[in-house]
Every structure is written in C-alpha cells, then in structure tokens.
Amino acid sequence: MLDQLKRAAADALAELAAVDAEAELAAWRSRHLGKKSPIKTLLGGLGALDATERPQAGREANLAQRRLQAAFDERRAALERAAHEASLGAEALDVTLPGRLPRRGRLHVSTLILRRIAAVWAEMGFQVYRSRDVETDEYNFQLLNFPPFHPAREMQDTFFTTEPDVILRTHTSPGQIHVMRERCPEPIRVILPGMCYRYEQITARSEIQFNQVEGLAVGPGIRMSDLKGTLTDFARRMFGPDTRTRFRCSHFPFTEPSAEMDIECFLCGGDGCRVCKRAGWLEILGCGMVHPVVLENGGYDPGRYSGFAFGMGPERIAMLRHEIQDIRLFWGNDMRFLEQF
Ligand code: DAH
C-alpha cells in the first residue's frame, strides 16, 4: 500500500512537470486531486488493511495528497507568471515613438470672413437677421422694384423650382422686405448674411452658389452722407484704419441713388498691382439709398422714413485678401486649399 501511494504520487508529480497550459492543468487537477484520483482510491481501500498498518497508511496518504496540492498551486502560479511575462513582452508600448496627431477641424474660409464682417457690423450696432434661402419671385424681384420682364433681371439668372414662382434667392436683398415688414415702424440696423444661388456657368470667376452680406438701415432722416460715413467706417475697421474709399455711380432697381464702393488696394496701397489690375482700387460692394417704392413695400412711409442699403460678396473679399484665383476652390472640398486658413 505504501509503495502504491509513493508511485501514485511520483507519477502525478512527473505528469505535472510536463503541464504547460491552463486547460491541461485543470485536467490534471481533476485527475489527481478529484474524487476518483489514484490516492483517493487507495484511501478508500484502507479498511481492508491490517489495524496496525492503517494509521501510518492514512497519514502517508494525506501527506501525499497535500504535497500534490502544494505542487499544483506552485505550478499554477508559475504558469500565470509566465503568461504575464509573455503579455508584457508582446504588448509592450514604446513610449518614445512619435504620437499620431488627430486631424483637427477648422472653420471654412467663408465662415471666417462672414464672422469677421458680422463682428465689425456688430461693433457698429447692426444685428444679424437670418432670411430664407428659398424665395418667391415676388420677394426676390417684384417687391424690390424689378417688374416682370425688366432687363435688370437678366443680371441674375435664376434657379426655378417645380412650384410656380418659388425660386432660390439670387441675392440677399429680399431679406430687406422681410425685415421691414417684421419691424415696421421701428428703426432698422441689420445685416443679412447668407447663401445665394444663380444659374451660371461655373468658371474660375462665377459659381452657382456664393455668400452675400446685405445691410439695411431705416429710420427718420437717414441721408446719403450717413451711407458714405458708415460704409467708410466699415472699410477702415475691416481693412485697416488708413483705408481710403471712393463711391462711383451705379444702378440697382431697389436703390436711388445707387453707387459702388471701392477701397484703395490693400496690397499696393493704390500704386497699381496684379490684384487691383493696375487700377489702385478694389470694388468691394454695391449700395444706395433705399428706393421709396421699396420702403413702401416694407410698410414704411417714404415721406417720413429713409434708409440706405448695401450688399457685398464675402468670397470676393476673401479672394482679394488671400489672392485666391479661382472661386471654384470654395466649394471644391480640396483639403489642400481648405487647410490653408
Ligand atoms: N443685390 C445686389 C446684387 O446681388 C447687391 C446689392 C447692391 C445690394 C446694392 C444692396 C444694394 O442692398 O444697395 O447684385
């Protein structure tokens, strides 16, 4: 019996030494420490032994059992240590490698310039008024004093929809009517920024969509000198305190008189260069005194109220500023372009 015990224990230990995976270890445990292990079986046969041999055999069996348990614990710990070491090696982090930079988002160049324009007008007391992109022929043209079939409409090739008279706005000016009808008889100082749409051939100089920033001031006693002073102040805040401006006669159906404002070229200071095409001046916006018919269409009595309006193209200003040669770049989604701002 004692020999059998020794042999069973020695076999078990030899087997354990060869175990090197967790699954094998579990199988070994149920084989040698479970209810049907060789040692348990021998213990079960104790009763058949002589009473004098029984105590010693029992002690030896328990001893062998404990030794196997201890060997098992040790082997398990060794395997766990080895697995841990292996994972440390395999999953090692090299903290000296350069990091991977996340791609940072940024604002579109048009958004940047729109915000700059809005900030300057805000300093001067003008609120932002958001007007709709989808308009009717009535608001986009008729109420702004463009009668049906008037040749001034030819400047603004229009996107029509399948709904009769529903169009995409060709300029931000229809917002003038919306804001006047909403605010009348209050005085008004607002800018109206937003996207405009024209059915144009897309070239380096013309796009089917672009932003405009419209402006409108209405109140009692507003004069042409207010228009000139306010727009010149804007130009100085926007382009620098020494910026000179000049106003040239023009025509828009919704203003009378109408003008175009130029600023002295900020690249050459008026000497003449590539950007200003040797003129020394850059055309920045259209403007004028609000036409009496338009004031009336907005609900204001032109006998008591007057106002001025203006409209500028932020993409055009950005093109001059950054010497961008092709307007298609704005909506072309080329990261090499967009990442420069
Ligand atoms: N709506 C004009 C256009 O798209 C721009 C403009 C000119 C707006 C003069 C105005 C203005 O308010 O007074 O060509």
Which of 79, 77, 59, 56 lies closest to 67, judged by CA?
59
pLDDT of res. 281: 96
Helix (H, G, I), strand (E, B) or coil at 292: helix
Nearest-angstrom CA–CA distance, 285 and 180: 22
pLDDT of res. 117: 98
| Residue owning the nearest CA to atom 4 of ligand 1 | 171
Expressed in angstroms and rounded, the spacing between residue 214 Cα and the centre of ligand 1 is 7
Q: How confident is the model at residue 114 (pLDDT cuts 50, 70, 90)?
A: very high
pLDDT of res. 45: 83
| Residue owning the nearest CA to atom 7 of ligand 1 | 286
- What separation in angstroms does the CA of 243 have from each of 237, 263, 267? 9, 7, 11
pLDDT tens-place string over residues 160-200:
999 999 999 999 999 999 999 999 999 999 999 999 999 99
**Closest ligand 1 atom to the C-alpha of 155?**
14
**Closest ligand 1 atom to the C-alpha of 212?**
4
Expressed in angstroms and rounded, the spacing between residue 173 Cα and the centre of ligand 1 is 6
Token pair in block for residue 172:
């931000």
pLDDT of res. 108: 97
**Closest ligand 1 atom to the C-alpha of 287?**
13
Q: What is the pTM of this model?
A: 0.73
pLDDT of res. 49: 82
pLDDT of res. 89: 87
pLDDT tens-place string over residues 200-251:
999 998 999 999 999 999 999 999 999 999 999 999 999 999 999 999 999 9
Q: What is the mean pLDDT of residues 248-259?
A: 98
Kindly write down the DSSP assignment for every residue of 96-122, as one continuous string.
TSPPPPPPPP---HHHHHHHHHHHHHH
Return mean pLDDT, the chain: 93
